[in-house]
C-alpha cells in the first residue's frame, strides 16, 4: 500500500511537471526554439517571489498576482530583444544562446543569493493532507497544484484552439512562411508564445518553491523534468505532456521507495527506455503546436 501512496504522489507531481513542460514545447512548436534556459527562468521567478515576500511580507500565495504579470511582460521582451536574433540563424544559434542565457541566469542568482537554499513558506498548509487510509495520504497543497496545473493546461488548449491569437500561434507553428503571407506579424506572434511560456514556467517555479527548497542550479532539474515529460508523452500533444509528467512523477515516486536518492534515477531510466523502445512517445500526437 505504500506503493499506492507513491503512485498518488507521483500523479500529483505529474501535473506540476506538465506545467513546466508546456512552455518548453510551446516555444518549440511555434518557433523551433528549445529554450535551454527554461528551467532557470522558473527559478528566477521563484527568487523574485522570495524577494517580494522578504520585503513586503504576507502570504506567499500573493506572489502569483505579482510575479505572473511580470513574467508575461518579461517573456515578451526576452523574445523580441534577445531570442528573435536566433530565429533565422540556423539550428545552433538558439541552443547556444539559450544555454549561455542559462549560465548567465544561474550565476547571477548565485552571486546575488549565494548557495543557501530558499523556500516559499506557506506555513502549515505545506504539510496539510487528507488521509485516505493508513498508508495513502493526499497533500492538500499537492492537490491544489495538480488542479491548477490541469486548469492551466486546459486553458492553454482552449486558447490555442478557440481564440484568434491562438489560431495565429498554431498557424505560425504549422507553416511560418504561409503565416507571413497571410499578414501575420511574426515577431509579435513569437513574443506571445514566449510570454505564455514564461508565465507557465513561472507558475511552475512558484509552486515548486512552495513544496521544496531550491538553489540557483535547480533550474537544470526543472528543464530536465520538463523535457522528459514532453518526450515520454510525445511531441505535439498537450495532454500527452500531462501523461508524460504523470508517468515521470510516478516513476520517481516508486524509485524513491527503493532508496531516497533513486527517485530521479528511476525517472531518467524510464525516460531512456521510452526513448529506446517507443521514441515517438506514449501518445504520439497530431500536429498541435505543443
Partner 1 sequence: MPGETAATRTSSEIVIRRGTRGTVTGLGLSVGVILFLIFAPLFAGSGFVYDVTQLSILIVMAVSWNLLAGYGGMISIGQQGYIGLGSFAVLALSLNGVLAWYAVPLAMVIVGLISLPVSYLAFRLRGGYFAIGTWVIASVFQILISQNKSLGAGSGLVLTDLNNISPVLRNHIVYWFALGIGVITLVTTAFLLRSRVGLALMAVRDGEIAARATGVNIVRTKRIVYVLAAAMGAGAGALLILTNLEAQPAASFNVQYTAYMIFMVVVGGMGTFEGPIIGAILFFVLQQSLNSYGAWYLVLLGATAIAAAIWLRRGIWGVVDPGHHRSLVPLRHRVSVKDGYEREG
Partner 2 sequence: MLKIEGVTAHYGQLIALDEMSLELGAGQTLAVVGANGAGKSTLLSLISGEKRPTRGRVFFEEQDITNERTSQRVRRGISLVPEGRQLFGSLTVEDNLLTGAAAKRKGEWDLNAVYELFPLIRDKRSRQAESLSGGEQQAVAIGRALMANPSLLLLDEVSLGLAPVIIQDLYVRLHRIAAEGTTLLLVEQNISEAFSLASQIVCLLEGRVILRGAPSDIDMGTLRDAYFGSGYSGSQQKGETK
- Pick from 128, 147, 154, 182 the residue near partner 2 by CB under 8 A: 182
171's contact among partner 2, partner 1, none, with CB below 5 to 8 A by partner kind, is partner 2
208's contact among partner 1, partner 2, none, with CB below 5 to 8 A by partner kind, is none
> Residue 183 has which C-alpha cell?
499578414
Is 167 a residue that touches partner 2 (CB under 8 A)? yes
- Pick from 8, 179, 191, 223 the residue near partner 2 by CB under 8 A: 179
CA dist list (Å): 228 to 75, 102, 118, 245: 23, 18, 25, 8
Is 168 a residue that touches partner 2 (CB under 8 A)? yes
Q: Shortest Cβ distance from residue 160 to partner 2 (Å)? A: 11
Q: Shortest Cβ distance from residue 255 to partner 2 (Å)? A: 36
Nearer residue to partner 2 within complex by CB, 38 or 190: 190
Is 171 a residue that touches partner 2 (CB under 8 A)? yes
- Pick from 184, 215, 264, 284 the residue near partner 2 by CB under 8 A: 184
Residues of the shown chain interacting with partner 1 in the complex, contacts defined by CB under 8 A: 28, 32-34, 36, 82, 85-86, 89-97, 99-104, 106-108, 110-111, 220, 223-224, 227-228, 231, 261-262, 264-265, 268-269, 271-272, 275-276, 279
Which of 16, 7, 11 lies closest to 149, judged by CA?
16
180's contact among partner 1, partner 2, none, with CB below 5 to 8 A by partner kind, is partner 2
Is 180 a residue that touches partner 2 (CB under 8 A)? yes
Is 174 a residue that touches partner 2 (CB under 8 A)? yes
Residue 78 has φ and ψ, to the nearest 5°, of -55, -45
- Pick from 88, 92, 134, 177 the residue near partner 2 by CB under 8 A: 177
Nearer residue to partner 2 within complex by CB, 72 or 186: 186
Summarize as ranges the residues that interact with partner 2 (CB under 8 A). Answer: 164, 167-168, 170-171, 174-175, 177-186, 286-288
Amino acid at each position: 500500500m505504500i506503493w499506492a501512496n507513491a503512485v498518488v504522489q507521483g500523479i500529483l507531481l505529474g501535473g506540476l511537471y506538465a506545467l513546466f513542460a508546456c512552455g518548453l514545447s510551446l516555444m518549440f512548436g511555434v518557433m523551433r526554439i528549445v529554450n535551454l534556459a527554461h528551467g532557470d527562468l522558473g527559478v528566477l521567478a521563484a527568487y523574485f517571489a522570495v524577494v517580494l515576500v522578504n520585503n513586503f511580507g504576507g502570504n506567499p500565495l500573493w506572489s502569483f498576482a505579482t510575479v505572473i504579470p511580470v513574467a508575461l511582460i518579461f517573456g515578451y521582451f526576452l523574445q523580441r530583444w534577445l531570442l528573435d536574433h536566433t530565429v533565422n540563424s540556423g539550428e545552433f544559434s538558439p541552443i547556444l544562446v539559450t544555454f549561455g542565457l542559462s549560465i548567465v541566469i544561474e550565476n547571477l542568482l548565485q552571486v546575488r543569493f549565494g548557495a543557501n537554499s530558499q523556500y516559499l513558506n506557506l506555513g502549515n498548509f505545506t504539510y496539510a493532507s487528507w488521509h485516505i487510509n493508513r498508508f495513502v495520504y493526499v497533500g492538500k497543497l499537492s492537490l491544489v497544484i495538480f488542479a491548477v496545473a490541469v486548469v492551466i493546461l486546459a486553458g492553454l488548449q482552449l486558447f490555442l484552439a478557440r481564440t484568434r491569437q491562438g489560431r495565429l500561434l498554431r498557424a505560425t507553428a504549422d507553416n511560418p512562411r504561409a503565416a507571413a503571407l497571410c499578414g501575420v506579424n511574426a515577431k509579435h506572434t513569437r513574443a506571445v508564445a514566449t510570454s505564455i511560456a514564461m508565465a507557465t514556467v513561472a507558475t511552475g517555479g512558484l509552486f515548486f518553491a512552495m513544496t521544496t527548497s531550491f538553489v540557483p542550479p535547480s533550474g537544470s532539474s526543472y528543464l530536465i523534468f520538463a523535457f522528459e515529460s514532453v518526450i515520454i508523452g510525445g511531441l505535439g500533444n498537450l495532454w500527452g505532456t500531462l501523461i508524460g509528467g504523470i508517468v515521470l512523477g510516478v516513476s520517481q515516486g516508486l524509485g524513491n521507495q527503493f532508496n531516497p536518492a533513486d527517485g530521479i534515477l528511476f525517472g531518467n531510466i524510464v525516460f531512456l527506455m521510452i526513448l529506446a523502445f517507443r521514441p515517438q512517445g506514449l501518445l504520439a500526437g497530431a500536429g498541435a503546436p505543443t
